[in-house]
Structure 1
């Protein structure tokens, strides 16, 4: 890692259709300040715009995934929000394409909310989650209270929100919140393997599928298929759809262009 990398709040790399976004304030337990939020927002906005990128992985340097909002910056009057995406540059408006959280250390408060803003979660077996805002006289407004009740049973979500207690990975996995539990130090590599499976698929189809799975439960039943078609029809008429069918008949791997 170069001196320039050390000074960056977020590191971004791209490889094989996968964008890796790494929280890079390990000395501050990757607490989110405005610079980090702005960098995450920019990385996600470019990710959504790039045809050659299909899926992202969000991970962190250091022993803590993210300790939440930088309270020192908060006391100095700073708010780690961006106009379009909200807290941490993701909470209010996650990317259009899928993003995987590779949790390699504790994710608490806004750090847990970062994880919940992702579509898939891979976590080391020794980490834990928590929404301890109530213990500090605050309210978790980074999406945790909105997302958690739809991911785990209501009464348990309420308990975690009202007590702020730690939520260990084994409990989270048993309740279906976690996709993969890994040995310590291997969450990122496991997340990359999962990302590679997704990146091998048609990028337009992947993005449309995420939107349908995410938004579909809120659609009125009478409108569901019509709304689904709004996402699916452009994909069906794309060059990638033709390429997928041709590759299948020719028994070869497809070459996606994102068009």
Structure 2
């Protein structure tokens, strides 16, 4: 896997680091595929329970590598997990974004594909695609209106203006606000707290929280019941 994406296990927490300083962590196809393989490892390993993704060198990511796209048409996709290696199919287990500096374009779309966001108080996040005649097609145009009030999301999408992490914390997208330079440490601490919970319960809770957004309101409990019953049956069998 590319050296521009590095992963290390800290106990049950897998820390995935974007490390391409010459381009401010702009995402290439190789990087997207490396991120995806590390998330495959997260889902497959019984020793890993939560991932944290962050960018080294003081920033999360400047987005897709536009120079490569303009030169060769390369898009930063993984065939299975999609844009950035997680936008189409995030991992079953929880993933937390730790944002320092800025997360723009695809960088912000990768953040939006995470379950929790910890950001430094001086971080900046945004989707500037329209300024470049592009569309936030890596999940940004779809996910941002689900994570923010509609008016705030549409203003960011249609103007391309970035937003301060402190404001996104007020709006509920950023779950924890860290002091500058401390986002990773705070995110790893949060990940360790989640990792201490029962892994099967956490995985099912995440699945229900995400999938239920598409369930009919009048049938929420009916659609949840088979998943919950199977989980409880497995628990009883394991305890007998």
TM bin (shorter chain) = over 0.9
CA RMSD of aligned residues (A): 1.9
**Residue of 143, 163, 166 corresponding to 2:162:** 166
- Where structure 2 has 5 or more consecutive residues not aligned to the other structure, the ranges are none
2:228 aligned counterpart, secondary structure: helix
- Tell me if the contact between 1:134 and 1:163 (Cα under 8 Å) persists in the aligned partners: yes
Measure the CA separation in 2 of the matches of 1:35 and 1:126. Answer: 29
Shift of 1:240: 9.5
Q: Does 1:34 align with 2:58?
A: no
TM-score using structure 2 length: 0.94
Asked if the contact 1:16/1:199 (under 8 Å) is kept, the reply is no
| TM score, norm. by length of structure 1 | 0.87
Structure 2 CA distance for aligned equivalents of residues 87 and 173 of structure 1: 25
Structure 1: give runs of 5+ residues left out of the alignment. Answer: 244-259
Larger radius of gyration: 1
Q: Does residue 44 of structure 2 align to residue 54 of structure 1?
A: no
Which of 67, 70, 76 pairs up with 1:72? 67
1:96-175 equivalences in 2 (<5 Å): 96-175=92-171
Alignment match of 2:200 (pick from 193, 204, 213): 204
Q: Distance in 2 between matches of 1:191 and 1:146?
A: 25
* Residues 129-180 of structure 1 deviation map (CA, whole Å, 9 limit, x = unaligned): 1110000111110101100101111111111101011100111011111110
Residue 204 of structure 1: how far off its partner (Å)? 0.7
Aligned twin of 2:20: 25
Give the secondary-structure state (helix, strand or coil) at the position aligned to 1:237: helix
Tell which deviates more after alignment, 133-142 or 73-82. Answer: 73-82
1:182 matched residue in structure 2: 178
Q: Which position in structure 2 is the counterpart of 1:252?
A: none
- The correspondence of residues 80-99 of structure 1 with structure 2, limited to 5 A, is 80-99=76-95
